[in-house]
Structure 1
């Protein structure tokens, strides 16, 4: 890991979701749900393998709507606190690929809405800048838009909670 300060290697994206934390958490924990929302619009997951437990691994691959195959990537779940936090590392499968660590934090308010904080720390500032240049922020937000839709459907199915 870099000796550069974390503050110049990180990206934080927040989203207030009109659903309880346990449903937002469930949408991250089940590959059936993850496959419906993860990644930017137009690049759905064609591979979604998840062993959702601490030290469990995941492997994803996206395929564009035009059939273009993205590079496979994956990592290890480092921390899972039900309905509160998921932390994992992530990198492309190519040897020597730099690693990022993402923490998804969930905080439910008194009205039953969940503040989702998606915090990613990159191996270096250069890696962060490269990912920003490739649309990391827009892609993450596109995925979170889809997550909100999946969670809305889950709320409807469960009668609100």
Structure 2
């Protein structure tokens, strides 16, 4: 976790975030001033940002919105006040509507981004200056502290070369809090094909099988919001176990980047929210699945089934059976 400190100062009406990174100051600067890189971390897990405008000049504006798993949008704007490469920049940060106009009744603040070199890399100091104690309290009450902490925790993956960050590390499971788990796996193939492998029933049947000894008996995919999907498996040969399956509904589709679905075991009422994100760099795709569980007990019970091991075997099969043949 790169964030070392988040503090609020009611007397000086500020919120300050300090974070250390094992990357040079120039690399940190580019992460904060390139909208394509900002989109990968500016927004907590489950609320990724999309920048629609980025005029990085004094007096220029950046417009963005963050999208929830249910498709809700929360917009924001930056007006650049000064820029001093690579040491920092200042903006007026405001909540914005779909047209980029400030939302009445929502606080605006002056936000300073400062970057400095350290013995181990670089440090960011981000300070938000509020007009009143009420504005500071409003932003904190909206979850700004924890949201910022979780957003900045995504920066390590951005600052490193993607293959350096994830190649050869298999399927990784991160417990973000009691109900959220992030699963990541780098697969050696282009995003368009990885997306199709998740949304083409014939391709799904080739790789989404978990451990050896199981076959997929049914695959009905959902490719539009509101559609249902259903996948079923059964043991083959001497494999022990009972047939089972999962089903759910599509809540959001942003091909080939993001798909959000509900998921429940067939015949069971308990469901999770699965947020699939795909990011491609240098011919490899980072698959990220953010799972929201109804409670900690359900989270622990499902993880204890060996779910991550089964996902790793499926991802390995995806590379072997679907992606590698396209390179021959």
Give TM-score, length-normalised by structure 1: 0.84
Other-structure match for 1:50: 54
Matched, 1:79 2:82: yes
Pick one of 140, 143, 167 that aligns with 1:132: 140
Contact 2:41 2:155 in 1 (8 A): yes
Contact 1:10 1:122 in 2 (8 A): yes
How many residue pairs get aligned? The number is 151
Cα offset for 1:23?
0.6
Distance (Å, rounded) in 2 between the aligned partners of 1:49 and 1:21: 25
Contact 1:6 1:121 in 2 (8 A): no
Contact 2:35 2:51 in 1 (8 A): no
Cα offset for 1:87?
0.8
Distance (Å, rounded) in 1 between the aligned partners of 2:160 and 2:129: 29
Give TM-score, length-normalised by structure 2: 0.43
Secondary structure of 1:94's counterpart equals: coil
Pick one of 12, 15, 18 that aligns with 1:11: 15
Per-residue Cα deviation, 1:68-100 (whole angstroms, up to 9, x for no partner): 222x22131111111111110111222464320
Cα offset for 1:149?
1.8
Per-residue Cα deviation, 1:20-69 (whole angstroms, up to 9, x for no partner): 01011101111110111101110011344211111110111111122122
- Structure 1 pair 11–156 and aligned structure 2 pair: CA distance change class (3 A): same
Distance (Å, rounded) in 1 between the aligned partners of 2:163 and 2:119: 17
Distance (Å, rounded) in 1 between the aligned partners of 2:78 and 2:92: 5
- Structure 1 pair 53–66 and aligned structure 2 pair: CA distance change class (3 A): same
Matched, 1:121 2:121: no
Contact 1:23 1:155 in 2 (8 A): no
For the pair shown, the structure with the greater C-alpha radius of gyration is 2
Matched, 1:153 2:161: yes
Unpaired runs of at least 5, structure 2: 1-8, 96-101, 166-328
- Structure 1 pair 155–88 and aligned structure 2 pair: CA distance change class (3 A): farther
Contact 1:90 1:101 in 2 (8 A): yes
Matched, 1:89 2:92: yes
